[in-house]
Amino acid sequence: MRKHPGLWRFVVLAGILGTAVFMLSTIVWIGTLDISKLDNPLPEPTYIYDRGGNEASQLSSSRLEPVPLREIPVHLRNAIIAVEDRRFYDHTGIDLRAIFRALVKDVQAGNLVEGGSTITQQLAKNLFLTSEKSLARKWKEAAYAVKIEMTYDKDKILEMYLNQIYFGEGVWGVQEASKTYFGKDVRDLTLSESAMLAGLPKAPTRYSPLQNKEKALERRDVVLSLMREQNYIDEKEYRRAKAEPLRLKKEDEADLKGKYASYVDYVIEEAVKVYGFTEEQLLTGGLRIYTQLDPAVQQAAEDVYADDRFFPQSRDDIRVQSGVAIVDPYTGGVRGIVGYRGERVFRGFNHATQLKRQPGSAFKPLVVYAPALEKGYTPFSMLYDGELNIDGYSPQDWDKQTRGEVSLHEAVVRSWNIPAVWLLNEIGIDAGMEFVKKMGIPLTTGDRNLGIALGGLREGVSPLQMAQAYAAFANLGVMNKAHAITKITAKDGHVLAEAKQDSIRVMSPSTAYTMTLILQDAVRMGTGKNAELPRPTAGKTGTTELPDEKAFAGLNGVKDAWFVGYTPELAAAVWMGYDRTDRQHYLTTSGGAYPAIVFREIMSRALSGVPVSPFHQPEGFMLGREPFHSGDKKRPGQEKHKEKDKHKEKEKHEEKERQKGRDKKKREEDDD
């Protein structure tokens, strides 16, 4: 460069000029940005449509009630600044220090993990941009932040932010958040309550005091600590606020409950987990969500769950809980969901989709009998039913008796335990586990033991997972992944997300149909009699015993009760139990009682007016040496037992004749 000073000066001037042009064009572009929405930041509701394309429910935030900054307590303002943007009053919309810190963490993680956003940037993102994590979005966010800072003063920006930020439970803005959580106007909040609200925007669902009080309190204490560290409060105020107990507003069902509440909650859950939408986008984005909801099925389930006659009576104010999931076997479409009994908390715990409990004997067809049929066993196959001890594991039949041997058909219908464990050992635990995994039910290495034959799982299953698995029997061995959402579009119809048919053949048509025939008899003449409908019905009961612990010593009851079944049209799984089982709260019923009755009531109402049709039979289906149909007078294994009975009768007759001969000979000897 020393030899060419003219070239060096040209490069420097070109660089300066290029930078100047870039800065000027950026400033001009920023000036064109439209931020008029800040003057009217009302969210747009999202609409949910049923499988027929009809509007079924509206998903929206609560009423947005803006309040001026002067009515927002200073300690709430300071709490938000302390936790969200400590240099809020010092930067011009972009905090270069925070961005540098975030950039270092992003480089270390190899991904965009750290935000580094100011309050102004968050305001811009919430109103004008998506939650996409990309450099382009961050650049636009920064530009909008600069434009906002050029237009409004700091206090106005803070006021707008506090009035539109999302605080969880379907509410936006500090006024509605204060009313929802504490039942009071925002101006009346204490320091402790303000700190709790300030901790919510980072993860509203995770830190919601209505969802998890312990995490909410931990988060509140973090905010208080930051306020002390930044000299917004002193040590005395910190200790007093930290010691203040959590006093929440009593739930008002009318404020939170929407139409088809359980189903809507699951739609939100699926949109977040499967398609990556945020809760804020779903509640304020004016989206159109098309679903598999069947209003007739959903209403039938809700009506049954509203009738206490169909559920065990609670001993106190703690209800026996329950959840039901109903799916279409041929598409995987979730037709109906009820996830709880009693009052609803927005996006509260859904017993139909989030529950994980041991399924008991309802698991036998999935992990034992269907895999055995795949390996060549038939309903006529004779299984061992005697004293059993395999590596220290000794199951018992529920009647504490044994029969020596029983047919596979009888073992399912009567829900005997010993034959199921013996058969799983015969076909191999790995075969059973692999079959279950194909059915969409995850297992752990800790599940690899013979107890899995009786539903003894480490983590358990949900009703939705069980309904999805049993649906494969009705669909001749093809399992369709259960899903509620068909597609999600913007207000203008632009498709943002769309479901794809996720089908997998998990067993042969012959195995699926054979299992259906057996499970029909489990309903018609076995443990599932209470589920029988005036149409083809198949299913299986499930009951799990109380834990073998000192806390339950001397009690005669159960922890969980299930019924999982299907008709040619729908598959459903019903669970009942307590959220927390203890000596005062446990079931004294079984899967064949209340859960089976709930299944029957829901299905009979949901299918009212639907023509009766048979289960699909594979072409040329033959079972063993002759066709087998559920309802035949002749049962699998019956012929073998008849032969035994004939043999015994013959032996008795022959012994009787021999005895006559001996008696005659004795009389003749006496005469002599």
Mean pLDDT of 608-635: 70
CA distance 94 to 116: 9
Residues annotated as catalytic (active site), given as ranges: 84, 361
CA distance 470 to 566: 7
**pLDDT tens figures, 270-318:** 999 999 998 878 877 889 999 999 999 999 999 999 898 999 988 777 8
CA distance 332 to 292: 9
**Which residue in this structure is represented by tokens 């259960």?**
482
CA distance 538 to 542: 14
CA distance 322 to 352: 8
Among residues of the chain, what percentage have pLDDT more than 90?
52
Query: Using an 8 Å Cβ cutoff, are 261 and 269 in contact?
Result: no
Query: Using an 8 Å Cβ cutoff, are 324 and 574 in contact?
Result: yes
Hey, which of 93-107, 195-209, 332-346, 634-648 has the most confident mean pLDDT?
Answer: 195-209
Mean pLDDT of 384-392: 93
Parallel, antiparallel or unpaired: strands 46-49 and 288-291: parallel
Is 497 exposed, middle or buried (CB count within 10 Å of its CB: 0-12, 13-18, 19+)? middle
Number of H helices and E strands in the chain, helices first, is 23, 14
Query: Using an 8 Å Cβ cutoff, are 598 and 310 in contact?
Result: yes
Residue type, 604: S
**3-class secondary structure per residue, 250-279:** CCCHHHHCCCCHHHHHHHHHHHHHCCCCCH
Query: Using an 8 Å Cβ cutoff, are 249 and 180 in contact?
Result: yes
Q: What is the pLDDT of residue 256?
A: 34
Cβ partners under 8 Å of residue 511, min gap 6: 370, 373, 374, 477
Residue type, 120: T
User: Between these two residues, 94 and 597, which has the higher pLDDT value?
Assistant: 597
Q: What is the pLDDT of residue 626?
A: 42
pLDDT tier at 129, thresholds 50, 70, 90? low
CA distance 162 to 186: 11
Q: Where are the alpha helices (DSSP H) in 33-129?
A: 74-84, 96-109, 119-128
Mean pLDDT of 230-254: 83
pTM above 0.85, yes or no: no
Residue type, 168: G
CA distance 441 to 462: 9
Return mean pLDDT, the chain: 83
- Cα–Cα nearest to 326, from 262, 239, 248, 247: 262
Residue 538, SS3? strand
Cβ partners under 8 Å of residue 303, min gap 6: 605
Query: Using an 8 Å Cβ cutoff, are 189 and 197 in contact?
Result: yes
User: Hey, which bits of 226-373 come out as E strands?
Assistant: 288-291, 321-327, 334-338
**pLDDT tens figures, 93-126:** 777 766 656 555 555 544 444 455 888 888 877 7
Residue type, 237: E
Mean pLDDT of 646-665: 55
Cβ partners under 8 Å of residue 646, min gap 6: none
**pLDDT tens figures, 558-580:** 899 999 999 999 999 999 999 88
| Least confident segment among 79-83, 485-489, 661-665 | 661-665
Query: Using an 8 Å Cβ cutoff, are 336 and 605 in contact?
Result: no
Query: Using an 8 Å Cβ cutoff, are 636 and 380 in contact?
Result: yes
Phi, psi of 403 (to 5 degrees): -120, 10
**Two tokens at 529?**
């009699």
Q: What is the pLDDT of residue 377?
A: 95
Query: Using an 8 Å Cβ cutoff, are 21 and 132 in contact?
Result: no
Cβ partners under 8 Å of residue 373, min gap 6: 507, 510, 511, 514, 515
Q: What is the pLDDT of residue 663?
A: 58
